[in-house]
Every structure is written in C-alpha cells, then in structure tokens.
A = this chain, B = another copy of it.
Amino acid sequence: MISPTPDQMASVTFNAEGLVPVIAQDVANGDVLMMAWMNAESLALTFAEGRMVYWSRSRRELWRKGDTSGDRQFVREAYFDCDGDTLLFKVEQEGKGACHTGERTCFFRSFGDS
C-alpha cells in the first residue's frame, strides 16, 4: 500500500472544479488504459483502499472503478507531474479491462487508415 506524505499530497493541484486528471497505465505491459478525474476525496480513498476511486463528472459521485463491472484497478505505483496538475497511476487491471465497451483499454481506436 502506498502512503503518500503530506508534502506529496500538497503538491497536487486541483483545477477550478476541484478535480485533477488521472492517467491509469497497465503496470503489466505499459498500455495506457484510461484517463479520468479525481477530487481530493477520491484521491485519498484511492490511497486508503489501494484501488482506483475516481470522481464521475457525469454522475457527480464517487466512482469506485469496478464495483459494477468487477474489473477493479489495484494501485501499484503512483506519480505526480512537474506541475502537480496531472497524476499517473500504474495499476493492476482486473478482469477483462478498463473500458465500458469491453475493450481492455479505452484507447482502442486509432487515427489514420484502419
């Protein structure tokens, strides 16, 4: 379990809506799985529970990733960027994947010739 220091937590800059963008990356193969948002509460819960807890902007509620789908994301490493305004979590992705479409990653569509 990762225990962030107060200094590290103070380095996180939330936007005007009180949110910070969070990138989830598959610790197993480096694939970027998804990008979503956290508020201060969901960030604290993510560290406390060791699994990704986002803030759903559409539903305006805490979003414990995988509670519905069963496909939880367990925190293995966590980083904040130079400005503190974006977070990167390396996660162990449970089940079939991160995307509600059933794909493993949300970035399953590419630009260019398909």
On A, residues with C-beta under 8 Å from B are 2-5, 8, 11, 21, 23, 25, 29-32, 34-35, 47, 77-83, 86, 88, 99-101, 103, 106-113
Contacts and interface: CB of A to CB of B under 8 A. Distances in A.
A2 B112 contact: yes
B2 A23 contact: no
Given A21-B21, A35-B21, A82 B111 contact: no
A96 to B, nearest CB: 14
Given A21-B21, A78-B111, 8 more contacts: A3-B113, A30-B30, A35-B86, A79-B110, A80-B107, A81-B106, A82-B101, A88-B107
Central interface residue in A81, A86, A111, by most chain B CB within 10 Å: A111
A84 to B, nearest CB: 9
A25 B32 contact: yes
Given A23-B23, A35-B86, A86-B35, A111 B81 contact: no
B32 A109 contact: no
B82 A99 contact: yes
B23 A111 contact: no
